[in-house]
A and B are shown apart, each in its own frame.
Chain A
């Protein structure tokens, strides 16, 4: 079985500060990992994905995430927060290979203040 735990349902940072959103996964097989972002009243959009290639994955809008197998983590970071980054962020996991469904974490709401 697979699962995702996002630490912290709410994170607040100042504009220009580092953004760190935490995600830990559980999987009995090599996972695929994803980060999605949801803006108010919209669907989810893919930020980035890890599919067993490079462990450091770069996504859109300056975000990146690093896959650490030893820590079963896939934390999302951005060096400098922008007001437009305020949204809800979801980490998700699926099994590698073949056809599989995505399991989402509970989400982390990011607030960015001036």
Chain B
């Protein structure tokens, strides 16, 4: 398996532009997570999906952020309009709680991240 695949790896955009980050989870994983990493705030969970359904979006900063998971193999995180304070590395991670000997143990596999710079 190629692991969790994120695109783009790097994005530089201007304030006010729309940004779309993409994620392909590991095949067979039924949970997907979006995290944001910054120096100031560390790793923050933005939203997670289970079986394509958003379970907890309490970490989404504000209405400018939205996430979708139209099917088991694809998710997007959209920022519209983007602001300089959104500059961060955004990670997607997936996991499976099916067939794990310890259900709910949530071993996450992370993608390489998308580094976003908003000027």
Contacts and interface: CB of A to CB of B under 8 A. Distances in A.
Interface of A: 32, 34, 36, 41-46, 49, 51-52, 90, 94-107
A40 B44 CA distance: 18
Given A99-B50, A101-B33, A46 B108 contact: yes
A27 B41 CA distance: 21
Contacts of A102: 33, 45, 106, 108
Contact of B42 (A32, A51, A104): A104
B45 A32 contact: no
25 contacts: A32-B105, A32-B106, A41-B112, A41-B113, A42-B112, A42-B113, A43-B93, A44-B110, A46-B108, A49-B107, A51-B102, A51-B105, A52-B102, A90-B43, A94-B106, A99-B106, A100-B106, A101-B45, A101-B56, A102-B33, A102-B45, A102-B108, A104-B42, A107-B42, A107-B43
Contact of B48 (A34, A49, A90, A101): A101
10 residue pairs, one from A and one from B, having the closest CB atoms: A43-B110, A104-B43, A51-B102, A44-B110, A106-B42, A98-B104, A51-B105, A43-B112, A94-B106, A43-B111
B91 A44 contact: yes
Contacts of A46: 107-109
Chain B contact-residue range equals 20 to 34
B31 interface: yes
Contacts of B42: 104-107
B12 interface: no
Contacts of A32: 102, 104-106
B36 to A, nearest CB: 11
A34 B4 CA distance: 19
A90 B45 CA distance: 14
A95 B110 CA distance: 20
Contacts of B4: 43
B104 A99 contact: yes
